[in-house]
Amino acid sequence: MTDTKAEIKIPKLETKKANVFYGDKQVIKEVDIQIEKNSVTAFIGPSGCGKSTFLRLFNRMNDYIEVFRKEGGIYIDGMEIYDKSVKVEELRKMVGMVFQKPNPFPKSIYENVSFGLRIQGINKREVLDEAVERSLRQAALWEEVKDDLNKSALALSGGQQQRICIARALAVKPSVLLMDEPASALDPISTAKIEELIHKLKENYTIVIVTHNMQQAGRVSDKTAFFYVGNLVEYGSTKNIFTNPQEELTERYITGRFG
Amino acid sequence: MNSVQKNRLKDQLFKYLGIFSTLIGIVLLAVFIGSILVDGLGRIDWDFMSSLPSRKAEKAGILTAWTGSLWIFGLTALISIPLGVAAGIYMEEYGRKNRINSILEVNITNLAGVPSVIYGILGLEIFVRTLRFGGSLLAGAFTLSLLILPIIIVATREAIKAVPSSLREAAYGMGATKWQTVWMQVLPAAGGGIATGIILALSRAIGETAPLIVIGALAYVPFVAKTPMDEFTVLPIQIFNWASRPDHAFVVNAAAGIIILLGITFLLNGIAVWLRYRWQKKVKW
């Protein structure tokens, strides 16, 4: 389906004047951003700049923080996701998340990957079997674990555990995948596998990845957003950001003058 | 002597002090168990286990006592486990962290330290008299449930607290509701700790004497309880009754009863330890 010029393209993810407060402290300041469907966007910036907090706006994981307060509009497919009519559980089926430290459930591989479907009431063995295999294949883990899906997920290596978490997120067929420094706790080989994964997943998913590793941002993303102390300093194609940044702050960050 | 030598000496001293202290406990326990076994082991046979109590020591058996203890164990478990675990889950997962709940938390922990005879008096007034259960198994079970409820609640809360928040995050991130997260992930992960707490609490209930005496469990019950409203006796009370008789033959009976009670206690504690071991193996963060 091609877009004609007459169609208005709604961005997949969007924020308008997003502000986030933890109590009195403002951690995100007036951020406007538009993220296209089926792209990979990297959020970079020094520690504490708010990129993880901003990422978590899209699946409302900040809701659990008591002092959290947001202002402004957060939209997915044009729909305000903080609206009272939105059920947060439904949102999270559309928007999956992979965390920094792999956090598989202390259960079998099969139970981990099928969890998202079982909480929706889907219990038929054939349906779950198919979903588990599909997701593990997508996460490039099927060949390694197919012989014993009842093995405990905790018995796998760190890189494998993270891919279980990715498979688990993919099993419910979300349209957006949020990844919060997914490879920072992993060794270089696992990291490379995950980056390769992101390349393949891009065809079918909109991916946003927070990373403190600029080379990684350069390798995997189409567009990059640079955050600094809660502000979105610059947002553009990854190539431009890294070779021809418009803002001086961006240039200083990517050349390592501060980190 | 320089400081390195001094520290080494302190090390050795502490080590031997530790060994000595441990040995005292073990030796005393061994002597106690040994003497009980010598006195009572010979008395235990099928007759003993299946006879009703009697004024004659040779005929007296422990049937009513161990069936009574079994009844109490079962009824107390039925009442206290759902209540205690549910309360623990509620306080830990659903309760808001405000002042009222903090005060509640402190009070519940304190309740675990209240002398058991006080629970007996409470049970006497509420269950025996006001609710008219009489000196029955039901009254005894409710009273003991009150006694061990704080233990189960605290154990449940501690086990749930030990479940790392990354597990909950993962579940919420998948779109699970709070209840689904608690029921499908948190509780199973906390299960071993909760089970251990339950078993230790019930093990305590089996050994309780004072509150049951207060609510009216009798020492001489020449029939087996058949319904929860029946009168009853339990092992500790029977033992107490026999041990205070002048006739040495009854003291032998008491020793036999003690062996059985100890056996049950060790078995329950052993199960608790095994469960804890299995749980820790399964759930490695």
Same domain as B77, residue B34:
no
Cβ distance B170 to A172 less than 8 Å, yes or no, reads no
The model's pLDDT over A133-175, given as tens digits with 9 standing for 90+, comes to 999 999 989 999 999 999 999 999 999 999 999 999 999 999 9
Same domain as B147, residue B33:
no
Substitution target in A55, A64, A66, A89 with the highest count of B β-carbons within 10 Å is A89
Would you call B173 an interface residue with chain A, using a CB distance cutoff of 8 Å?
yes
- Residue whose C-alpha is closest to residue A172's, from A92, A62, A58, A86: A92
Residue numbers in A near B281 (CB within 8 A): none
- Residue in chain A lying closest to B166 (CA): A103
The model's pLDDT over B109-119, given as tens digits with 9 standing for 90+, comes to 888 889 999 99
Tell me, what's the ipTM? 0.91
Sign for the CA dihedral angle at B154, B155, B156, B157 comes to positive
Cβ distance B166 to A172 less than 8 Å, yes or no, reads no
What average pLDDT is seen over chain A? 92
Same domain as B140, residue B11:
no
CA–CA distance, B237 with B254 (Å, rounded to integer): 10
- Residue in chain A lying closest to B190 (CA): A106
The backbone region for B127, taken as left when phi is positive above 0, alpha when psi lies in -120 to 50, beta otherwise, is: alpha
What residue spans define the domains of chain A? Answer: 13-254
Same domain as B106, residue B235:
yes
pLDDT score for B95: 82
Q: How far is B96 from chain A (nearest CA, A)?
A: 11
Q: Per-block average pLDDT, block size 10, for chain B (285 residues)?
A: 89 95 94 90 85 82 88 94 94 84 86 90 92 89 94 94 94 95 93 90 91 85 84 90 86 90 88 81 58
Same domain as B189, residue B126:
yes
Same domain as B51, residue B34:
no
The model's pLDDT over B198-209, given as tens digits with 9 standing for 90+, comes to 999 999 999 899
Cβ distance B170 to A106 less than 8 Å, yes or no, reads no
Same domain as B37, residue B58:
no
Same domain as B12, residue B76:
no
Residue numbers in B near A91 (CB within 8 A): 175
Residue A146 tokens read as 């197919």
Quote the DSSP letter at residue A9.
P
Sheet holding A13-22, edge to edge: A25-35, A13-22, A68-76, A79-80
**Sequence-ordered alpha helix ranges (H) in chain B:** 3-40, 46-50, 63-89, 99-111, 116-123, 137-161, 165-173, 178-181, 187-207, 210-215, 235-243, 248-282
- Residue in chain A lying closest to B170 (CA): A103
Same domain as B261, residue B194:
yes
Question: Coil, helix or strand for A25?
Answer: strand
Q: How far is CA B75 from CA A48, A226, B148, B198, in A?
A: 55, 64, 13, 14
Beta-bridge partners for A232: A227
Specify the CATH number for the domain of residue B58.
1.10.3720.10
The model's pLDDT over A175-195, given as tens digits with 9 standing for 90+, comes to 999 999 999 989 999 899 999
Assigned architecture for domain A13-254: 3-Layer(aba) Sandwich (3.40)
Cβ distance B166 to A152 less than 8 Å, yes or no, reads no
pLDDT score for B282: 64
Q: Which of A105, A119, A169 is the closest to B167 by Cβ?
A: A105
Residues in chain B: 285
Would you call B174 an interface residue with chain A, using a CB distance cutoff of 8 Å?
yes
CA–CA distance, B1 with B129 (Å, rounded to integer): 72
- Residue in chain A lying closest to B164 (CA): A103
Give A7's pLDDT tier (boundaries 50, 70, 90): low
Residue numbers in A near B177 (CB within 8 A): 89, 119
Q: Which domain holds residue B162?
A: 47-282
Same domain as B61, residue B198:
yes
The model's pLDDT over B65-81, given as tens digits with 9 standing for 90+, comes to 889 999 999 999 999 99
Q: Which of B167, B174, B189 is the closest to A92 by Cβ?
A: B174
Give the count of domains, chain B.
2
Same domain as B148, residue B24:
no
